[in-house]
Amino acid sequence: MARKTPGRLIVVSNRVALPHQTAAGGLASALRAALAENGGLWFGWSGKVSAAETGAELHQASDHGIDYATVDFSRADHDAFYAGFSNGALWPLLHYRPDLVDYQRSHLDGYLRVNRIFAERLRPLIGPDDTIWVHDYHLIPLAAMLRKLGVKNRIGFFLHTPLPAAGLLIALPNHHELLETLASYDLIGVHTHRDLRALEDYFLHEAGAVMRLGGRMRMPGGREFRAGAFPISIDTEHIAGIAQKAVGLKEIVQLRESTRGIALIIGVDRLDYSKGLPHRFQGYARLLERDPELHRHVTFMQIAPPSRGAVLEYRAIRRELERSAGHINGKYAAPDWVPIRYINKSFPHRLLAGYYRSARVGLVTPLRDGMNLVAKEYVACQDPEDPGVLVLSRFAGAALELGDALLVNPADTEEVADALEQALHMPLTERRRRWKAMMRVLRHNDITHWRTSFLEALRAPGKPAPDQP
């Protein structure tokens, strides 16, 4: 491993984008860039499940000035920490689905145990001047466990999911035991002003904190921390360039040939109940039902890669979507026209960029989403001379920045159908106006702006954290 140097950034996340792996999306690229600036360390799970105990061996590597340190999980810890508490309890709760929370005390024990092992294996790697940046709901208590081991460094936390109101958070058994450990961080980052207010309300009304000058919150024991809204974004210009180059790819040419004279609507989502896919299919079906003139002139392509296939709810939604797509095609298809193309696999990012650019409408309608970078990528990929229209859920964090999209309630079938109809008939001048307005936002609030604003706030303790996007 490369020699540690003072003042590094240490990134901690459940999964690590190792040097031999292709960076999956803008977040991995942004974190690598941040680590490369002053030298850094990326610590987390290797992605492997082994027969040994969790953390029995520390895997270390270095590449282009960045150190990597990972541990394997035991099967029991993977099932309890990752599949159990993180994705079986925290994920549905944070996405406003307390009815799907599968809480088991043994899973919480495993969650806490893995976080404790992370802290123990990370502690010797921390230099006195290092800054630590922890990511996402898998690692909520990590700072508290590092503090118990004597770590006094500045530690920040960023939550990549939505954060529901305190009235929902308290539905988690023993919520105080877990959520109040967030106070051990120096700075907590969330995507939106709405999420920030939910966090503040929880600590003020459930944890007994008081608000101090500069947005600091003071816990009953005297510990102070800050929270702020830092809306994550994309590498706007890079993605726009990829989309422009993608038009010549064989697959993109084939898609355009197969949809010649047909307006393409596109959706790209993980197969997850938070994405509102069944409602989306219903909205599209309602459009076809009430506007027969659109038959043969529009097709909807939904790309939905499998996600957490071992979880019962995910298997159920996959079956539901397959039935719905079959029903829509069975009712409306013609020998020379397929109204819906449902694709249950993933594609390389360069192809997705080309698909976005080829689509007249981007349909992004999650029931809840912390941000939703698909919406931003769809906008960035458009042809400036002939841009498509974004139809976006009001309940995605991106809606607070992309107000020139057509905003909808994803549960309102008629409203979704109305927006699709408006998008398909929107004049070119209006499409250009809306697209230019959204691109101005994306060029200013890009992925670099996100990471630099968070790290500056973390490293400057006297500076108030932002309270709105």
Confidence check: pLDDT of 381 > 90: yes
Active site residue 272: no
Residues 56 and 120 both lie in one domain: yes
Residue 465 lies in a domain: no
Q: Average pLDDT of 10-35?
A: 79
Show the domain range for 260.
Answer: 236-444
pLDDT of residue 467: 54
Q: Identify whether residues 256 and 188 lie together within a single domain.
A: no
Q: Which of 195, 235, 269, 369 is catalytic?
A: 369
pLDDT digits (tens, 9 = 90+) for 246-291: 999 999 999 999 999 999 999 999 899 899 999 999 999 999 999 9
> Two tokens at 274?
């938070």
What is the overall mean pLDDT for the chain? 93
User: Can 446 be counted among the known catalytic residues?
Assistant: no
Closest CA to 2 of 69, 61, 71: 61
Residues 215 and 151 placed together within one structural domain of the fold: yes
Task: Tell me whether residue 331 is in a domain.
Answer: yes
358 sits in the region (left: phi over 0; alpha: psi -120 to 50; else beta) called: alpha
Instruction: Kindly state whether residue 311 falls inside one of the protein's structural domains.
Output: yes
**What is the count of structural domains for the chain?**
2
Mean pLDDT of all residues in 181-204: 97
Residue tagged active-site, from 160, 175, 238, 449: 160
Looking at residue 462, its pLDDT comes to 61
Q: What is the pLDDT of residue 230?
A: 97
Q: Are residues 290 and 424 in the same domain?
A: yes
pLDDT at 27 over 60: yes
pLDDT in tens, 210-223: 998 878 999 999 99
| Residue 349 banded pLDDT, cuts 50, 70, 90 | very high
pLDDT above 90 for 17: no
Question: CA 211: distance to chain centroid?
Answer: 29
Q: Are 374 and 346 in contact (CB under 8 A)?
A: no
Residue 308: pLDDT over 70:
no
Helix axes 373-380, 236-246, angle to 10 degrees: 60
Q: Same domain for 310 and 413? A: yes
If pLDDT is split at 50, 70 and 90, which confidence band does 469 have? very low
Residues 206 and 113 in one domain: yes
Residues 179 and 246 in one domain: no
Same domain, 192 and 310: no
Q: Give the mean model confidence (pLDDT) for residues 440-458.
A: 95
Q: Each residue of 47-65: pLDDT tens digit?
A: 999 999 999 999 999 998 8
Same domain, 223 and 254: no
Instruction: Specify if 466 maps to a domain.
Output: no
When pLDDT is averaged across residues 9-24 and rounded to a whole number, the result is 81
- Cβ–Cβ < 8 Å for 314, 271: yes
Residues 452 and 424 grouped into a single domain: no
Q: Do both 93 and 209 map to the same domain?
A: yes
pLDDT tens digits, residue range 458-467?
A: 998 665 556 5
Residue 308 burial by Cβ neighbours in a 10 Å radius (0-12, 13-18, 19+): middle
> Does residue 3 carry a pLDDT above 50?
no
Residue 1 lies in a domain: no
pLDDT at 14 over 60: yes
Residue 135 resides in a domain: yes
- Residue 213: what pLDDT? 80
Looking at residue 352, which CATH number applies to its domain? 3.40.50.2000
3-state secondary structure the chain: CCCCCCCCEEEEEEECCCCCCCCCCHHHHHHHHHHHHHCEEEEEEEEEEECCCCCCCEEEEEECCEEEEEEEEEHHHHHHHHHHHHHHHHHHHHCCCHHHCCCCHHHHHHHHHHHHHHHHHHHHHCCCCCEEEEECHHHCCHHHHHHHCCCCCCEEEECCCCCCCHHHHCCCCCHHHHHHHHHHCCEEEECCHHHHHHHHHHHHHCCCCEECHHHCEECCCCCEEEEEECCCCCCHHHHHHHHHHHCCCHHHHHHHHHCCCCEEEEEECCCCHHHCHHHHHHHHHHHHHHCHHHCCCEEEEEECCCCCCCCHHHHHHHHHHHHHHHHHHHHHCECCECCEEEECCCCCHHHHHHHHHHCCEEEECCCCECCCHHHHHHHHCCCCCCCCEEEEECCEHHHHCCCCCEEECCCCHHHHHHHHHHHHCCCHHHHHHHHHHHHHHHHHCCHHHHHHHHHHHHHCCCCCCCCCC
Quick one: pLDDT band at residue 6, thresholds 50, 70, 90?
low
Q: Distance between CA 462 and CA 206 in Å, rounded?
A: 26
Residue, of 404 and 1, whose pLDDT is higher: 404
More confident residue, 38 or 101: 101
Q: Do 25 and 69 belong together in one domain?
A: yes
Task: Please determine, for residue 375, whether its predicted confidence score (pLDDT) is greater than 70.
Answer: yes
